[in-house]
Amino acid sequence: MSKKFVPYANEADVLTIGGLTIENRLDRITIDGDIDLTLDRKGLEHARALHQLLGAALAKLEGQKDLPATLPPPAVKKVANPFD
């Protein structure tokens, strides 16, 4: 990962690895898309980036003392369409 992405640190960071988009939140990380870990240098680069990201997320999760069993889904707000 070229950009420093600290899991669960803010509501702003977005990281792209291959076809994956990883969005940072304070209470979750959202991973969307798909990726092929090809048997070449690019595949190795993607695998290393994913490994680093998931290792950092795992360390944060394991470092929490009182993890709840589950979190509720994120609240979704409907806003007026500014183009109407």
SS (H, E, C) 4-37: CCCCCCCCCCEEEECEEEEEECCCCEEEEEECCC
Rounded to two decimals, what is the model's pTM?
A: 0.81
- As to burial, measured by CB atoms within 10 angstroms (0-12 exposed, 13-18 middle, 19+ buried), residue 5 is buried
Asked if 73 and 23 touch (Cβ cutoff 8 Å), the reply is: no
Flag residues of the chain having pLDDT under 70: 1-3
pLDDT at 1: 47
